Amino acid sequence: MDPERCAGRLIVAALPGPELGPEAIRALEDLGPAGIILFDRNVRSPSQLVELILGVREVCPEPPALAIDLEGGPVNRLAHLDPALARLPAARIQAAWPTERLERVWRG
């Protein structure tokens, strides 16, 4: 693996919008990031989000870890997709929950 590709595997990248345009595709192919973090600008609907994630997986040379800026409370990028997601408390509150409660909430 060349040095640039090795460096890319240390980076978590953000995408500019809800779709993969030519520049984003080229950057993902060249960089091969370790992960992708999604923000509000990347999320429009469940089907759009699935398409975006599938596109990222198709373009990246190695499968990246996927993350979303979802802290619960006032920072909730998924609230508009499902009413249940809108009611999530802030991450700092969830951090105090016992494991069993976290499993119940997040595994449905």
- What confidence tens digit (pLDDT) does each residue in 69-88 have? 877 667 777 878 888 777 77
Identify the H or E element spanning 13.
Answer: strand 12-14
Is the pLDDT assigned to residue 51 strictly greater than 90?
yes
Cβ atoms of 43 and 66 within 8 Å: the answer is: no
Collapse the DSSP code of 47 into the 3-class scheme (helix H, G, I; strand E, B; otherwise coil) and give the result: helix
Could you tell me which of 56, 9, 2, 65 has the C-alpha nearest to residue 32? 9
pTM of the model: 0.75
Helices (H), 1-108: 3-8, 22-31, 46-59, 83-86, 91-94, 99-107
* 99/90 Cα distance (integer angstroms): 16
Residue extents of the structural domains in the chain:
3-107
